[in-house]
Amino acid sequence: MNILKNQKLIIIGATLGAIAGFFYWKEVGCLTGTCAIQSVWYNMTAYGLVLGGLFGSIIQGKKKK
C-alpha cells in the first residue's frame, strides 16, 4: 500500500495518458492504416500510458525537491 501512495502521481499520469491515447486513436487515429503507432488502439493506448507515466514522474520529481 505504501508503494502505491508513493507513486500516486505516476499512476494517475499513466492512467490519464492511457485514456488520452485511446481517445486520440478514436478521434484522430490513422486514416490509411499504415501508421506504426496509431493504426491500432492498443498501441496508441500503451504509448499514451508510457508518456503519461513519464510526465507524472517528472511532476513527482519536482514536488520532492
CA-nearest of 25, 20, 13, 21 to 52 is 13
CB 48 within 8 A of CB 4: no
CA distance 54 to 24: 18
- The answer to whether residues 38 and 26 touch, using CB atoms and an 8 Å cutoff, is no
Q: Is the pLDDT of residue 12 over 90?
A: yes
| Sequence-ordered alpha helix ranges (H) in the chain | 2-6, 8-27, 41-64
Q: What is the pTM of this model?
A: 0.83
pLDDT above 90 for 15: yes
pLDDT at 17 over 80: yes
Confidence check: pLDDT of 22 > 70: yes
The pLDDT of 32-47, averaged and rounded, is: 86
Domains of the chain by residue range: 16-24+35-65
